[in-house]
Structure 1
Amino acid sequence: MASGREPFAHFVAIDWSGAKGARHPGIAVAVADAGGGPPRLIAAPDGVWSRRAALDWVRGRADGNMLIGFDFSFAPPRIERGAYLPGEATPDHARAFWAYVDRDCNDADLGAASFLERRRGRHFYLGAADGAKARFMHFRRCEAHFNARGGGKPSTVYDAIGAAQVAKASFAGMRLLHHVGDALPVWPIDPLPRGGSVIVEIYTAIAARAAGLRKGLSKVRDPAALDAALAALDSAPHAPLARYDDHATDALVTAAWLRANAHRPDLWAPPALTPEIARSEGWTFGVI
């Protein structure tokens, strides 16, 4: 653990969704307790999570001692080109940019699809009509660092088309972070506090690889595979699930990974993370 920080009592992984609408089967919330036992899913208040319900759940844990990981990018690239959206008068740090996105969206349930659609072709790629996709492939310093070290296929929040796109989820997530406000610190945009709950950005593929799942084949869809992944992270076997989908199993494995790795000082002080990067782009917990 970072110097002077009290150990976390609970470790939460939230698999996220940027889909349109107000109920999202793609959202899953899992928690692992520091005292041991298997990670477990948290049931949604109305059966299926909404983004606002996830916001309320997280804000309700502000006085606890949880490490809460969200699976989306906390900001667009800024350092590569000197602006989040070159040619548009945007703020230059993450918290102000979250407010900027939120003011420009009236989508249901903290959605942000309209933000991207109004800027398609200028800042976001939504299809062949927008020109060459390569023109939109810009990366945060964390992503560039991870990809350069063999991390995986490059992804960018400016690519908003296809099953693997992260744009819609990330901009919806930025709206959520804006509404979290000062209730919880968001590392590394905010300093790591000595105690209390903290929000971090996670990438479930990092947890999957640490659990022994091969690159490109990181999805768990059956009980035996889930227990094998948890065992690799020194976790007890899971309680049976009603359904083994990617969202639930990603959240469970990542919660177990957070519990197994949150004590590592190197994950809280990546050598490539500068104050400017922290303030403007953030960083994915687990990338060193």
Structure 2
Amino acid sequence: MKAIKQFRVTKQTRIKDQDAEQKPLSGGDKTKDKEQVAELAAQIGVQQEILYAGQQHKLLVVLQGIDTSGKDGTVNGVFSGVNPQGIRIVSFKAPSSIELAHDYLWRVHQQVPQKGEIAVFNRSHYEDVLVTRVHDWIDDSECQRRYAQICDFERMLAETGTTIIKCLLHISKDEQRSRLQERIDDPSKHWKFDMQDLEERKYWDAYQQLFGQAMQATDADHAPWYLIPANSKTHRNLAIASIVLETLNDLKLALPEPKPELSGLVIK
């Protein structure tokens, strides 16, 4: 079964802690799984070069997940074979005062991919229906309005040539505890640790509920959600790399036609 079908969210999809452990694409050998990820990353690099040369298609990859779910690791593992000229990684932090003075999608729209480009959102516009709702900065009515606005926004992107992939990196609560503890215990990883992560962890159940609601409210054929079991970092990369490559292959990308005026031209 194709990864884009295996991990695609449906109306029956529910986020369950135990599902984060699943590794359906794994062959059972971690070393071989890593080799497969590297091979997929190289193939993504080849497809990206054709995408860039053609200057027709655009690809947006949205990575959402709770703290420590592996968004940075996904970028490093899945897109390692891509020429930096053809990819842009956008990390959405807390909005600035200027960004807050505009509508919440203003800063997002500036970062969507241009023709021939892959853009990867490390967090995204979905923060505006997740953290804002968890902390009651917006009420349910506003959240529902934003779901509708996000659907309209993504439909507009799709109708103007952007292919969209949205991945929720799903880890268990115990896995997050382990990853946070590792950052504390290893001085070389202290820079990764933020005390705010512990505060957000208190809202674990609320985040899981809202992840599920957001996926169900905004999933569409032109902007599909994929629920990625992410307790295994290697399998997480294997799943997302498979989805990205399958999506690029489905675009039937091709290099531009040769230029007749260059036929027989000899440089002296």
Normalising by structure 1, we get a TM-score of 0.26
Q: Which has the higher helix share?
A: 2
TM-score (normalised: structure 2): 0.27
Higher RCO structure (Cα 8 Å, ≥6 apart): 2
